Amino acid sequence: MDKKFLRKFDVKIQSLSNNKHSFLFEFNHSLLEHFSEEIEMKNTFGECNLEIFKTDMMLNATFSIKGSTELICDRTLKNFIYSINTENKILFKFGDFDEEISEEMIVIERNKSIINIAKYIYEFVILKIPVKRLHPSLKNEDNIDNFVFRTNVIKKTDPRLDPLNKLK
């Protein structure tokens, strides 16, 4: 199932002309589970609109991902729906061997005919999930500055030190 499942995220780049091309991929929770079994999300689904601009030297890919997932609030343990809306770019340069230069630039072999984008969709979705997961009803309470604690302490000084304080 693994290879068959991932084939629907293949892009045949060798047959593309030097121009702009658009692809639409739908994904669900099984894509996330394929890459990691310790996912703290449920009912994830969405779509990725991939636009590729191909030239002789490179592929400029723009991933527009829209979807939603169900998260658990860290404070109240209530489930809530979190919207995913992100746009990311990756530059695939043609070279002699596969190498990841940075997060936005990847070198691929010149004779490579297919790129599987499932890993990139997974990474972009995971990076969009917040570390601090708060239910929307608690959004105004997530700043520590809203909680101000004051104590009314009366500062008592030793009367014997009063003459010393006058010397200042």
Q: Terminus-to-terminus CA distance in the chain, angstroms?
A: 82
Percent of the chain clearing pLDDT 70 (strictly above): 89
For residue range 49-103, list pLDDT tens digits in order.
999 998 888 899 999 999 999 998 888 888 899 999 999 999 999 888 888 888 8
pLDDT of residue 151: 56
Dihedral, CA of residue 159, residue 161, residue 166 and residue 168, to nearest 10: -150
pLDDT surpasses 50 at 21:
yes
Residues 6+ apart with CB under 8 A from 14: 112, 113, 114
